Amino acid sequence: MNPTLSELEARATDARNKAAFGGDAHIVCDNLVRIYKTEGVEVVALQGLDLVIDKGELVAIVGASGSGKSTLLNVLSGLDVPTAGVARVGGMDLLSMTPRDRLRYRRSVVGFIWQQTARNLLPYLNARENVELPMKLAGATRKGRAMELLELLGVASCATRKVSDMSGGEQQRVAIAVAIANSPQLVLADEPTGELDSETSEQVFAALRTANRELGVTVVIVTHDPLVSEQVDRTVGIRDGRTSSETLRRESAEGQIIAEEYAVLDRVGRLQLPRDFMSALNMERRVRLELESDHIGVWPSREEPSSD
């Protein structure tokens, strides 16, 4: 039986997507640029950032203040529009969305967790009512779902409590339930443990891992705390508006967790060397490259003595 025209078009679209950078990955940022203008001064927050995240991953984005990680989060959440490049989530183009599409995207495709607990929950509602609210706004309330989520995240006892009667860790776990209430494809967390102690932070990360593994939702956590990276399978470092490194974690045959750090090579061949490496070898401005059979050597430049 010959394929229909619509089937042929679908195949062609799939082929184009797979051939493109990132293929059919859940999140794709390709040469992403975001420029802000404040008082006549241009600030380049993202400088051609590349990023690929597969569906169902639990990823941490780490970087110093001003590195561009918060800008990236705002772009992925639909709160900010990039200046140039490509940004796709679940096949949706974040640059070409209309305001109505953007609202629908934020309401049903992505869930958000702020660092400040006061921004996540309404103080005059109890935990169950807070979880039910986004479902009511979307017109898709499912009886009993709020309690199911609170039980899944270990805060069922907070169902009838208001924010003032919950600890900081309980508030953040309820906030996770609010973020996943409408079954989003993606959950973004902005410093979700920034105001919590280490023990309480462990509980919040356990809840995020539960949401990731039990519900299959992709989770991206943005933070400046490198210790957070120990809680996830992949850590992406951002420096000066570009991805600079990745740390992958895997379990060995003996059950030990092995972490391997890699530098990120972007699509045009740019590579960010760690600053402490460059300082140790006094690398500035220029370096020498040598192609070996199985690697590329990077060496400090040999400055020729000047002739008088």
Q: Would 165 be classed as within a structural domain?
A: yes
Q: Taking every pair of C-alpha atoms in the chain, what is the biggest distance, in angstroms?
A: 86
Q: Would 14 be classed as within a structural domain?
A: no
- One digit per residue, pLDDT tens: the chain, 308 residues? 556 656 655 655 554 554 466 778 999 999 999 998 887 788 889 999 999 999 999 999 998 888 899 999 999 999 999 999 999 999 899 999 999 999 889 988 999 998 887 789 999 999 999 999 999 888 877 778 999 999 999 999 999 999 999 999 999 999 999 999 999 999 999 988 888 888 888 899 999 999 999 999 999 999 876 667 678 889 999 998 999 999 888 877 887 888 888 888 877 788 888 888 888 888 888 888 898 889 998 988 876 555 55
Q: Would 224 be classed as within a structural domain?
A: yes
Non-local (6+) Cβ contacts of 237 within 8 A are 62, 63, 243, 244, 245, 246, 247, 264
CA distance 93 to 235: 24
Q: Would 246 be classed as within a structural domain?
A: yes
Query: Residue 97 corresponds to which amino acid?
Result: M
| Phi, psi (rounded to 5 degrees) for 195 | -110, 15
Q: Would 272 be classed as within a structural domain?
A: no
CA–CA distance from 108 to each of 83, 96, 172 (Å)? 24, 18, 20
Contacts by 248-253, CB closer than 8 A, 24 or more apart: none
CA distance 185 to 111: 8
Q: What DSSP string describes 176-216?
A: HHHHTTT--SEEEEESTTTTS-HHHHHHHHHHHHHHHHHH-
Q: Would 17 be classed as within a structural domain?
A: no
Residue 216 and residue 58 in contact, taking contact as beta carbons nearer than 8 Å: no
Domain that holds residue 121: 54-84+94-263
CA distance 192 to 205: 9
Total domains present in the chain: 1
Q: Would 208 be classed as within a structural domain?
A: yes
Q: Would 31 be classed as within a structural domain?
A: no
Question: pTM for this one?
Answer: 0.84
The answer to whether the Cα torsion of 229, 76, 20, 55 is positive or negative is positive
Query: Residue 187 corresponds to which amino acid?
Result: V
Where residue 98 sits, what CATH number does that domain have?
3.40.50.300
